[in-house]
Amino acid sequence: MKPVFVPHSNYQAFVHQQLRTHYGPGIVLINKDWPLAAKLWMTDLSAITTLLHDAYSNRGPLPRDPASLLRSFLIFLMTNPEMGLTEWINEMKRTPIYAILSGFDFDDLPGVGTFYDFFERLWPAVDKHLKPKKQRKRKGKTKKGKKGEIAPTTTPGKVKRLVEWMMRHTDKKNALPADRLFDFFQAQILTVSANLGLLGDVSALSAAGDGTPVVTSAYPRSKPTCDCRARGIADCNHPRLYSQPDCNSGWDSAREKHFNGYHLYMISAADSKHDLPLYPRLQPASGHDAVSLVMSTVEFKQRFTLGTVDKMLLDAAHDAEAIYLLLDHQNIEPFIDLNNRSKKNTATDSDIQISPTGIPICPKGNEMKPNGFDKSQNRRKWRCSPSCGCSDAKYGRTYHTHSSDNLRLYPKTVRGSEKWNLTYKRRTSIERSNKREKIDYKLESGRHRSTMMWYMRIYGIMICQHMDAWYVSQKDEWDKLKSTICPSAA
């Protein structure tokens, strides 16, 4: 049967009644439980029932309330993210308040299969993975790097070719299995955060992007599709069946070791005081930040309907000329730190050369000095003093650079200027956001074997991050209501 829509007000009445019944008229909540109760009390998740209405059959028994299942999953991530779902059901039996806040009678809890059935309805694809399990035999581990070193792309020109392809297809939106999750997240979570002013100015949004490793297992598991080993052939090139086909091996420069799993690329709101996430994208562990950014920024811009992305803040791993062109094509201003891969100067049509950092070099070999910005012609002025001797002009040698000449070396906002530094310092918000997901919410503790479940966990954690921000931003008001909801809160 189709699920029955339960308004959020009905859920609040149920929680209040259950707490009074089982904890007495003078409801007592310890201080540790109050923030959790307040977050669930303020968060309306009832729209998930409407979203999944068509995913249920017209026949059969009455299903569990989807909103209650989602609440329970969020409470699990907020309180005990290191345990499995089976143990979580036992935890709700041991701690009745978790069942009550989920919206369940604690003597009538759902089974673990009910949760997984709910997750599958949020994932419209038939397969729980993005790639088929049968794949070619994978190569050895990726090359080791130094600690904190920016990894080069595996194939020269790969980013440029990908950007050229994406620019030809930016108007074509391809459906993704995680779209249903993002649609709910945007409509019911991002919208609330935007209305509370927690994302910054959504009409001209500043976003930051960065990738982070997600370890899923100690090593890749696979089975042969041939009998070569039985026939004494130790090494063959036949395809194998991989239990995690979307994962592979990569190098984690922070931990200085190889790992098996995903490369999670996250986009966050750079101007958010709470470092709130906006869009996740899972790639194989060997994925590079620059490649992931190209796919993520196009997908995000196609799906984000709450405002306009105005700026994109990225670290030096994204310093590729093709990325500047892609962002400019999307009317997004790039703020990217330079990655000085070359020490050679670049020749120009004149006797002036350009250093790897974008500073003109006069014929005498001296760096020219900035001399203002010509707004009428949208160009930056450089000058050598008469004492340099590179020109007979009384004012000295001058040179102009345009963003159109080289957007990487001459961005619209001058790299190193006060405006640049003020904007770019917010790039680290993405690192703090990723830290919350991996450290505070134990992202890598998930013992999942499918991409579907990893997306469920990631989106659940992202919702929790926003709920935390809602509570913190309104903490004083909610603490005043504590005596109304829980008269005897301790």
Is pLDDT above 80 for 375? no
Q: Please report, rounded to a whole number, the percentage of residues in the chain having pLDDT higher than 90.
A: 57
- Residue 293's CB is within 10 A of a number of other CB atoms, namely 27
Is pLDDT above 80 for 144? no
457 or 235: which leads in pLDDT? 457
Is pLDDT above 60 for 202? yes
pLDDT of residue 153: 54
pLDDT of residue 267: 97
What confidence tier does 151 reach under pLDDT thresholds 50, 70, 90? low
Give the chain's domain count.
3
Across 70-79, 116-125, 192-201, 476-485, least confident range: 476-485
Q: Which of 140-144, 164-168, 322-326 has the highest mean pLDDT?
A: 322-326
pLDDT tens, position by position, 159-176: 889 998 888 877 788 899
Residues 196 and 55 in one domain: no
pLDDT of residue 401: 85
Residues 309 and 400 in one domain: no
pLDDT tens, position by position, 75-91: 999 999 999 999 999 99
pLDDT of residue 335: 96
Provide the residue range defining the domain that includes 407.
Answer: 346-414
Distance CA 259, CA 69 (A): 33
Asked if the structure places residue 15 within a domain, the reply is: yes
Residues 404 and 326 in one domain: no
Residues 53 and 200 in one domain: no
Cβ-defined contacts of 379-382 (< 8 Å, 24+): 380/410, 380/414
70 or 356: which leads in pLDDT? 70
372 or 132: which leads in pLDDT? 132
Asked if the structure places residue 129 within a domain, the reply is: no
353 or 72: which leads in pLDDT? 72
Asked if the structure places residue 161 within a domain, the reply is: yes
Asked if the structure places residue 127 within a domain, the reply is: no
Characterize the bridge pairing of strands 205-217 and 309-314. parallel
Nearest to 221 by CA among 247, 251, 250: 247
Residues 222 and 323 in one domain: yes
233 or 22: which leads in pLDDT? 233
Residues 171 and 309 in one domain: yes
Residues 317 and 185 in one domain: yes
Is pLDDT above 70 for 341? no
Overall average pLDDT of the 211-231 stretch: 89
What confidence tier does 344 reach under pLDDT thresholds 50, 70, 90? confident
The average confidence (pLDDT) of the chain is: 88
Is pLDDT above 50 for 443? yes
Overall average pLDDT of the 106-111 stretch: 90
pLDDT of residue 330: 93
45 or 21: which leads in pLDDT? 45
Distance CA 264, CA 282 (A): 5
Residues 65 and 184 in one domain: no
Is pLDDT above 60 for 26? no
Asked if the structure places residue 468 within a domain, the reply is: no
Across 297-301, 344-348, 428-432, least confident range: 344-348
pLDDT of residue 490: 45
Residues 271 and 220 in one domain: yes
Is pLDDT above 80 for 478? no
427 or 24: which leads in pLDDT? 427
Asked if the structure places residue 126 within a domain, the reply is: no
Overall average pLDDT of the 196-200 stretch: 95
Residues 316 and 353 in one domain: no
Overall average pLDDT of the 379-403 stretch: 82
Residues 239 and 114 in one domain: no
Overall average pLDDT of the 464-468 stretch: 97
Is pLDDT above 60 for 150? no
pLDDT of residue 368: 87
- Residue 359's CB is within 10 A of a number of other CB atoms, namely 16
Collapsing DSSP to helix, strand or coil, 324 comes out as helix
pLDDT of residue 254: 83
Asked if the structure places residue 140 within a domain, the reply is: yes
Residues 379 and 298 in one domain: no
Asked if the structure places residue 251 within a domain, the reply is: yes
Distance CA 171, CA 92 (A): 47
Overall average pLDDT of the 463-474 stretch: 95
